[in-house]
Structure formats: C-alpha cells, structure tokens
Structure 1
Amino acid sequence: MITGHIFIATSVDGFIARENGNIDWLHEIDTKNEDHGYVQFMQNIDAIIMGRGTFETLSAIRPWVYDIPVLVLSKTLADQSTPTDLIGKVRFVNKTPKEAMALLENEGCRRVYVDGGRVVQSFIYDALITDLIITQIPLLLGNGRRLFGDIPNDIFLQHQKTKTFPSGFVQSKYIIKR
C-alpha cells in the first residue's frame, strides 16, 4: 500500500513561503551545518509529488536536485513538454491527489514525499498523508503562504517526537490519526 509523507519547514507563525512564493528566508538562516534528518528521510522515499509553484521554484536549480521520480500536479503544465534535461526525471500530470497516488502505486512506489503548500493541503484533506515532519524556523514572516489553510473538519494528530537544534529550529513529527 502506498503512503504519503511530509517533510517541510515553516516560520514560527506558520508560513512556508512569502506571498510571492519566495523561500529566500530558508537560505538566510545559519543552520550551523546541522543535520535535520532530510537525507535520512529521503532514503526511504520512492517518488515525489509536488505542485506547479514548488516545481517552478526548484526548476532553475541545476543540476536537478532529485534523483528519484518527480510527479508535478498541474493543469497548466500538463499540456507542456518536460524540459529536455528533466525527461525521465519529472512528469507533468493533470490528476487529482488520489489519481496521482494510484498512478505511482501501479508503478511500484510505496512511500511518496508530498511537497508544496496547496498540494500538501489537498493530500491531507483527502486522507492520503500518513505522517508529517514539520520544522519551525525561528523567524516571523508576518504574512505569506500558510502550510495549512482553511480545513473542512478537524484533523487529529498524534505527536511522535520533538527535537530542538542549536540553530533554534524545532522539529516535530506527527502521525495523522484516522
């Protein structure tokens, strides 16, 4: 059975990006070369699902940052060709979260990293996420794009652990209760 997983950073006031989608603030903080567990997390991931905004933020980085398949959910990009250097690495599809997970499961994927604000929200609302690792960065943005928007009903979480880092980062892991 396929499962969805989140590993994401937020400001203390709950934003994942500025209003314009910029995440420059993530790179401005001195992490003191800390290991926040991302590499270990990714070792158990078979594929990544992200939205158009996240893809556009990452698309200028070369070499491409991922060595596992990336599925970009986008009505807009689904009609466009994949950039030549990303063929075999990135696919654009116009699918619902459930359809995207079914597609990857049929391809043999078991653990999927879900990234991007609206995509994360839709996967949580469709009960496709198993757990969340949220790292709070010691910064107040004041406004921007929230990790969680309006939700139609309560979603209960079970706290697994919290870890603090010398940089002031606070990382918590939650399992979504069903």
Structure 2
Amino acid sequence: MTSTTTVTGAVFIATSVDGYIARKDGGIDWLTRRDDDMSETGYDEFAASVDAIAMGRNTYEVGLTLDPWPYEGMRVLVVSSRLDPDSDTRVTVHRSIDDLLETATTEGLGHLYVDGGQLITACLNRKIITELTITTVPVLLGSGLPLFGAIADDVFLEHQRTTTLSKGLVQSVYRVSADAMLEA
C-alpha cells in the first residue's frame, strides 16, 4: 500500500481484572449489566477525537446486540473476510487490514478508534496504535477472549495516567513509545 497520509489508531477498551474483553462466546454482559455511569470514563470525548472506528467482525456482531446502536453518527469500518458487504448500510466492510488502511488514507481518516482484540493486536503488530486507554472492571471471568493476542515484537508503553473511577473501575492511559513507532 502506498500512502501519503499516516493512519494512526487509538484503543479505548474495557477488560476484566484477569485481562478478558469478552466471554468465550463474545458476550459482554459482565460489562453491560453494570449500572455505572460510563460517561465518566471519557468515552464520549475519545469518540469525538477520532475520524472513524475500525473493528473486527466479532466486535461488530456484539455491537448489533446493543440497543441503541452504540456507533450512531460514526464512520464504521469493519474488517471481515466473511461478512456480506451489503448487510448493513451503517458500516463499510473491508476484506483485509490493507483494504481498511487504503480506504482510511483515501478518505483522509487519519486517526482511527481500533476496537476488538484481534484487530488491536494486528494494528499493534503493524505499529499503527499510538495510544491505549484500558479500563479495568472489577470482575474475574476466569476465561474468555483476551485483549491481546501474539505480539510480534515488544511494544514499549509510556504511562500517561491512571484514574480510579466510580465502583472500582480503574482506567490507565498509555502512549506507545516514540522509539517503537520509529522502528515501523
């Protein structure tokens, strides 16, 4: 892919204390059934700071179960080799990360919200991610889908801040080390 625009990505995600973002079946009931005021997490400000959201098919399918649709008003890019491209007019389906990045570059979408464990890992391996905001929810799941898969190289992070939110949620923000980005 030839690019004149650098596409970067940021992560804003919740995990259990034991590092899972969903149950093995993709369920996030442990998160959605909480009666916390999630506005205090800074999600709205974060979402307003990005040009689009990029997610994998599994994350998209979880979003379909939520009412209302959580991405209203956002440009949504889904990476999937199986999803029918015409199945949902609210999203654009891309067959590969290369297709996604080409579209982002063409459309001038320079800063993406990257969501979903597999896509986050793939974007970390491509050195696209510049910041991670991880909110830890005080629950142990014991098993499930981990936030990170196999990372090709060490990713050095610079801690920016940690905030304790209501009901025991802990949010940490990390920047990917500039040295790690130079090696891209």
CA contact (8 A) 2:121 2:150 kept: no
Conservation of the 8 A alpha-carbon contact between 2:158 and 2:176: yes
What residue is the counterpart of 1:95 in the other structure? 96
In the TM superposition, residue 29 of structure 1 has moved relative to its aligned partner by: 2.4
Match of 1:13 among 9, 13, 18: 18
Q: Which runs of 5+ in 2 are unaligned?
A: 1-5
- Do the aligned partners of 1:6 and 1:120 also contact (CA within 8 Å) in 2? yes
CA contact (8 A) 2:124 2:151 kept: no
1:42 is aligned to 47
TM-score, normalised to structure 1's length?
0.90
Call closer, same or farther: CA 1:163–1:71 in 2, change over 3 Å: same
1:95-134 superposed matches below 5 A: 95-96=96-97, 98-134=98-134
Bigger shift: residues 33-42 or 117-126: 33-42
CA distance in 1, matches of 2:65, 2:139: 26
Q: How much has 1:81 moved relative to structure 2? A: 4.0
Q: What is the distance in 1 between the residues matched to 2:99 and 2:121? A: 16
- Contact 1:5-1:114 within 8 A present in 2 as well: yes
Q: Does the CA-based 8 Å contact 1:159-1:174 persist in structure 2?
A: yes
What's the TM-score once normalised by structure 2's chain length?
Answer: 0.87
Tell me which of 60, 74, 78 is aligned to 1:72. Answer: 78
- Give the 3-state SS of the residue equivalent to 1:10 in structure 2: strand
Conservation of the 8 A alpha-carbon contact between 1:34 and 1:165: no
1:27 aligned partner, one-letter code: T
Match for residue 27 of structure 1? Answer: 32
Task: Give the partner amino acid of 2:86.
Answer: T
- Residue of structure 2 in register with 1:164 after alignment: 164
- Of stretches 109-118 and 62-71 in structure 1, the one that deviates more from structure 2 is 62-71
Distance 1:33 1:101 in 2: 30
The gaps in structure 1 that reach 5 residues or longer are: none
Q: Quote the RMSD (CA, aligned, Å).
A: 1.6
- Identify the match of residue 4 of structure 1 among 9, 16, 22: 9
Q: How does 1:130-145 map to 2 (within 5 A)?
A: 130-145=130-145
Change in CA separation of 1:61 and 1:113 when aligned onto 2, cut-off 3 Å: same
- 1:117: Cα distance to partner? 1.0
**Residues 9-44 of structure 1: per-residue CA shift (max 9 Å, x gap):** 000110000011111100222325651100010111
2:79–2:96: 8 Å Cα contact kept in structure 1?
A: yes
Q: Distance in 2 between matches of 1:166 and 1:35?
A: 8
Count of aligned positions? 172
TM-aligned CA deviation for residue 68 of structure 1: 1.5
Give % identity.
Answer: 42
- For residues 16 and 150 of structure 1, the distance between their equivalents in structure 2, rounded to whole angstroms, comes to 15
